[in-house]
Structure 1
């Protein structure tokens, strides 16, 4: 399965460089073709010859060295990669990639690749915990870059803490996972709704909810990686949309989202309604800021259209997936929504549980299908929940 796969490994300068030799050896034993790019600093720790001997391919170190082929080197390697691994990744390299700096062969090739990128940081604990580095890491994660967390222990500098390069076994396992991800949704078109909606009161004030969009964005990202054509319809969030979307539609109000879903419904096979859409909107919008007075302010609310319910009436053969975020009577409330909205299944989560719901990177869900079958899942990353949802959709598509 891995014999026709290519991993390009970017090696940056750090004492953990020697561990990358073991990573290459393990990948070669699995039949993976490996190409190596080294930064100038990396060559101060281990010679290019060592990497060349293990990878059995020439090692690229310099943007301007004599080419071994007549291909444009960084473009050729970028296209060749099925996975692009950077190990070890220094704070410097992570900062460059996060900020679009391409001033050597490694960063230039990363900029040119459309392959999945896996970054394995290694550095001093204080550097790793620096808020600037953490901001850069979060930026890259939001853009769809994958990370192998560093380990804790005694570091080369003598300090103890988090910053050791992950073990070669763990790095190789993560590479293999990315190489093995099937394109099992190729040819399928999916609408994903995400984030909150905003219902304006006046030019300054609005009603919204606590949704950050993380669950919907995770679903969109994982669906793209599995080959689907994804239209993401999103309310206001601070997240960076995943790369390679078929279409991105930014909306504000529930009315905007309803119209956007209807407009894009034709030509899509699946609708995943993970957005937290406001149930109500102010009955009257004021064009001018409502001035504070000595009296209480009473705002009358009208009910918004239930988007999932409206889609359920006209979905025909499309698969419709709903979400239920509840604080009580989770199973009962979620089950009622399946029938009312003509859903194929619903993803239910209890907002009162730690690690579930809005603003966190994890979720704890129960999936209920139209036959009433309930499958419970432990706390896991939202990316894992996304793939469970997509697995269930894949089953329904093949029926």
Structure 2
């Protein structure tokens, strides 16, 4: 890793668990400081490794994406790189200045104006007063809050604060830029602007380390990706290889016998105990053929009142692309007794070939009864959607269409 601008060798971070510590003397604090330096050696310590055995290098101009479930250690890794916290084992070597975009708008003072906060926030993020002044017009134009620049930030909406905060942070000029999930905030237009700015930063040859739950953003921005799982590196490789592997694992881990699933929400008076998806002949799904979704329901007491069933389909980028709901039938589903089956038939499946998953839910009298995210995973095989058989595999699904000339 000698040619790396950033390298990690056997890095680990350990967090101790416990309540609020009582008042301590200077001697106690000094003793505690030295015991922390020795690391978590005592078996009596209650804690966990947020990261363990992390080793990788980043070359100049490389754009790396970090993926993983919540709690995998992604944000901890970025905090270590940003020197917000220190590792308990291993070594981090950095060549150049690191700029961190971890919490957009951190450091804004509500009583100061937007103009004053631009300078204060820029300096907190590592820029000099002269740098902020030189980029001031560009920052303001990017934020889109010109009219409110001399208004106290406490009167800004949350969206305005986010826009201004990102505008300041995005105009840092470090050799290494660390970015944590900025696309999780703001409207669609703002997110596109963020993505465009990060593309610009990457194209300028700077090294970027980017964490996001939006896999299309990872694929768009990053040439390389690392998959973290339970604080360890699961896979390191090309983004186009790592992302599908991660998504496939996330879906398969979530899908199990639906009656036994514990990761569900709702009142639970009516529950989903079975779920199948197939064509009319119980064959695998295929584009252009009929598809049937079958919900099996159960309740401890006779089901009284109508039921609404929903089936939200996600693509392999984990985006919800369409919703099937019994509400479109203009009447609720009625059942007798404590068990029932709800069927939804799609006469001609328009989905393109590929891998999908679905969230399912039941509603009764306006209240959520049962919901399970990624309750089922399924694959759609290639088939003929149009009568001509001339189907193009473009986009996410086919649309019925008629053509005429006049």
Taking structure 1 as the reference length, the TM-score comes to: 0.29
Structure in which a larger fraction of residues adopt helix: 1
Structure in which a larger fraction of residues adopt strand: 2
